[in-house]
Amino acid sequence: MIESYKKSSYSDLGINYDFLQDNLVYSSKNVLRGLHYQEKFPQGKLVSVIEGEIFDIAVDIRKGSSTFGKYIAIELSAENKCQLFIPCGFAHGFVVLSNSATFSYKVDNYYAPKYDRGIAFDDPTLGINWQLPLADLQLSDKDKKHPNLLDITDLFE
């Protein structure tokens, strides 16, 4: 048995979010999703992998933050059972390293498609090494069209 979430344990760590929804995403090898965020209804997320392995990224997009434009990267897998908490004000993306992956995330705000936004995965300002040759990455048409971080005006304060 794995206890994947216990509110009191996260509260002890200073993570006091009321998660409203759980989502599951299934993706194949080399599929990259992101870097996504919601403009008006930001989401805090608790992410983990149920099957397979991913390379997960969270980018600070809060304009006044001392870590604005910096990112954290971690490999999440069914084997290592690690989780990543991504607070509001961060963009999120991942690429699948295994043949397939089932990715789980809890969110503290509902999905609002009208306010769905993104940042270019290959933004040179961010300098993210996605752990795979860029030519091998598979992106949706939507994810190919996101602007670079410094070209976005509707970021969080």
Active site residues per annotation: 36, 105
How far, in Å, CA of 39 to CA of 41, rounded? 6
- Starting from the edge strand earliest in sequence, which strands make up the sheet with 53-60, in order? 71-77, 53-60, 90-96, 32-38, 116-118
Altogether, the residues listed in the chain come to a count of 157
Strand, coil or helix: 57: strand
Distance CA(35)–CA(109), nearest Å, equals 18
Q: Is residue 38 within 8 Å of residue 112, measured between CB atoms?
A: yes
The amino acid at 15: I
Q: Which two tokens stand for residue 121?
A: 């995965």
116 and 33 Cβ atoms separated by less than 8 Å: no
